Structure 1
């Protein structure tokens, strides 16, 4: 296992990580903090989320010149707060990531989708138009049916809320098409990004005609 991919954070883990960290090249240290934080976020353990938050904040504070990893770090901070159900903070971090990517478009994360899901889930209708513009801008870049299913579903919910029933119905149909997709379109990874399970809370909000 790489020294920056711990799934636990005992005292020994922490000491080992920072010994290796101190010996690493300075231009790679921000990345190691980010990767280690992501590994801990994926455990969904409450205590490890706190450790991950500290590592990400350390990265953002001590390596402000690092642009490559910043968007993902902000995205993961959003994930941490979403896991804690602190949705306002999660939305803020996702939006910071989205705004950063406007200045550095070569750096991409899934913040646009997590942000959009959370806005709809918390029914922040004042941001629905903004979410619609974000998703419409991202759709041409999408390949995987799972992402398109979620995006079309959210767009359907928004348009239904805005009284655009025909458009809402069209988006709902497109969402269903992607649920039923049998291939990702990739030659060597045909199963990648397929819809394995529908998202029940989104489906409940989509009103089909």
Structure 2
């Protein structure tokens, strides 16, 4: 483990933990940041450790500057443990924090609705839709555009609005086809990656189903 990477460990055991906390104890101004970054790094591969680090962060933090990153680590870890209701509540806390501090931004405004839509958390559909509407102007990257439209598509299909769902599915598929982000020096940043392969397939299913449904009606009117 290189010196500069001691707070970005992807693997964890008793020895790594001992070394991490010994270095953390000696850290000064960036202590909270190191703790939050390490929790975020472990949030998917070692969710229990990440949650423990997040708890330690909130009980020992010197300021609230890293609260957003710590909460993102918590949300990711809860999703990894399939604790969806708790993850949604954590995302809500992140969105509330972003309202209080507009200079701090995350992708929670699309990640929460996408989680609600893909896990079919029906009781949270109204809230997810309100977030998508309220934060629509914050969509920047193609991946955010994909998630925004895909979330709408899945919720609309679940509520019986199939043609509207197909419209948004088509727009999500268009976003998934984008190969350059539009940023001159970071053309690959923010593209739809393989982690959304299942979501892309769902959008194709919704779009094709609506096209099949629409076809016979069109033919019958001729």
Q: Deviations over 1:86-125 (max 9, x none)?
A: 2111112122111221111211222222221221122222
The residue that corresponds to 2:18 in the other structure is 15
Q: Which has the larger radius of gyration?
A: 2
Hey, what's the Cα distance between the residues in 2 that align with 1:41 and 1:160?
31
TM-score after normalising by structure 1: 0.85
**Structure 2 residue corresponding to 1:98, chosen from 95, 105, 114:** 95
Hey, what's the Cα distance between the residues in 2 that align with 1:190 and 1:22?
39
**Structure 2 residue corresponding to 1:159, chosen from 141, 146, 156:** 156
TM-score after normalising by structure 2: 0.81
The residue that corresponds to 1:35 in the other structure is 37
Hey, what's the Cα distance between the residues in 2 that align with 1:161 and 1:180?
25
Deviation at 1:73, TM superposition (A): 1.1
The residue that corresponds to 1:6 in the other structure is 9
Deviation at 1:134, TM superposition (A): 0.9
Is 1:21–1:29's contact at 8 Å kept on the other side of the alignment? Answer: yes
The residue that corresponds to 1:179 in the other structure is 176
Task: Tell me how large the CA RMSD over aligned residues is.
Answer: 2.2
Q: Does residue 1:170 correspond to 2:167, yes or no?
A: yes
Hey, what's the Cα distance between the residues in 2 that align with 1:169 and 1:12?
52
Deviation at 1:57, TM superposition (A): 0.8
Q: Does residue 1:51 correspond to 2:49, yes or no?
A: yes
SS in structure 1 at match of 2:206: coil
The residue that corresponds to 1:139 in the other structure is 136
Q: Deviations over 1:18-46 (max 9, x none)?
A: 22212211x4211111111122225x1xx
Q: Which runs of 5+ in 1 are unaligned?
A: none
